[in-house]
Amino acid sequence: MSKGANPSVRSNNGDSILHSAARRGRPGLARFALEFGFGREDRNAAAETPMELARAAALAAMDKLDARLPAYREVVRLLDPGK
């Protein structure tokens, strides 16, 4: 920002840098955006706040993990003959 970057620039879908940080699970970038005054309540073109995007991304990540848990359990069982 100190080199002249425009903090009000948005992506094609209306995401601010804070929306992008929330969508991608990037706490450092989110902290940076908040420090520079990006709003927690700003909405993108789909009327989503950064918090809504963060929650949706977290749920999607948990769903992916949940889908893989049986496979991980099976690998652990195979690797640990005592179980």
- Provide the whole-model pTM: 0.75
Please answer whether residues 56 and 25 qualify as being in contact, where contact means their C-beta atoms are separated by less than 8 angstroms: no
- Which of 21-30, 59-68, 72-81 is predicted least confidently? 72-81
pLDDT tens-digit readout, 33-63: 999 889 889 999 999 999 999 999 999 988 8
Mean pLDDT, the chain, integer: 85
Range 57-82 average pLDDT: 83
- In 3D, which of 20, 47, 42 has the Cα closest to residue 32? 20
Query: For the chain, which domains are there?
Result: 17-79 (1.25.40.20)
Within 1-83, where are the H helices? Answer: 17-24, 27-35, 50-79
Q: How far apart are CA 77 and CA 82, in angstroms?
A: 8
